[in-house]
Structure 1
Amino acid sequence: MTVSQSATDAPPGRAAAGAVRRKGPLTRAAERSWRPAALLLACSGVWWAVAAAELVEPYLIPSPAATFDVLTGKADYLWQHTWVTTYETLIGFALAAAVGVLTAVIMVYSSTVERTLYPILLIAQVVPKIAIAPLFVVWLGFGVAPKILIAVLIAFFPVVISMVTGLKAVDPEMLQLSATMGASPWQTFVKIRFPASLPYLFSGLKVAVTLAVTGAVVGEFVGANEGLGYVILQANGNLDTPMLFAGLLVMSLIGVILFALVEAAEKLLLPWHASRRDTSVTAAY
Structure 2
Amino acid sequence: MSSFIKKGWKPVAVLILLLIIWESAVRLMDVPKWLLPAPSAIWKEAVSGFEQFYPHVTSTIGLAILGFLIGCSIGLATATVLHLLPGVREAVYPLLILSQNVPTIVLAPLLVIWFGFGMLPKMIVITLVCFFPVTIAALGGFRNTPPEMKHYMLMAGASKTQLFAKLEWPHALPAVFSGLKISATYSMLGAVISEWLGAKKGIGVYMTLASSSFRTERVFVAIIVIMILSLCFFGIITVVERYLVKWNGKEGQ
| Per-residue CA distance 1:205-232 (angstroms, 9 max, x = gap) | 1111111111111111232221101111
Which of residues 159, 174, 189 in structure 1 aligns to 2:164? Answer: 189
Which residue number corresponds to residue 127 of structure 2?
152
Which residue number corresponds to residue 235 of structure 2?
260
> For the residues of structure 2 that align with 1:162 and 1:229, how far apart are their CA atoms?
29
Range that drifts further, 34-43 or 164-173? 34-43
1:109-124 correspondence runs (5 A): 109-124=84-99
- Asked whether the 8 Å contact 1:147–1:217 carries over to 2, the reply is no
TM-score scaled to structure 2, two decimals?
Answer: 0.94
Is there any run of 5+ residues in structure 1 with no aligned partner, and where? 1-25
What is the deviation of 1:122?
A: 1.1
Which residue number corresponds to residue 77 of structure 1?
52
- Asked whether the 8 Å contact 2:108–2:125 carries over to 1, the reply is yes
1:238-249 correspondence runs (5 A): 238-249=213-224
Which of residues 52, 62, 69 in structure 2 aligns to 1:87? Answer: 62
User: SS of 1:126's equivalent?
Assistant: coil
Of structures 1 and 2, the larger Rg is shown by 1
Aligned residues: 253
Which of residues 189, 206, 211 in structure 1 aligns to 2:181? Answer: 206
User: SS of 2:200's equivalent?
Assistant: coil
Which residue number corresponds to residue 4 of structure 1?
none
Which residue number corresponds to residue 16 of structure 2?
41
Is there any run of 5+ residues in structure 2 with no aligned partner, and where? none
TM-score scaled to structure 1, two decimals?
Answer: 0.84
* CA distance 1:72–1:144, shift in 2 (3 Å): farther
> For the residues of structure 2 that align with 1:276 and 1:159, how far apart are their CA atoms?
24
> For the residues of structure 1 that align with 2:56 and 2:23, how far apart are their CA atoms?
27
Which of residues 233, 239, 245 in structure 1 aligns to 2:208? Answer: 233
* CA distance 1:276–1:220, shift in 2 (3 Å): farther
- Asked whether the 8 Å contact 1:100–1:160 carries over to 2, the reply is yes
Which residue number corresponds to residue 25 of structure 2?
50
* CA distance 1:144–1:73, shift in 2 (3 Å): farther
> For the residues of structure 2 that align with 1:139 and 1:100, how far apart are their CA atoms?
23
Aligned residue type for 1:132: L
Aligned residues: CA RMSD? 1.8
* Moved >3 Å (runs of 4+): 274-277
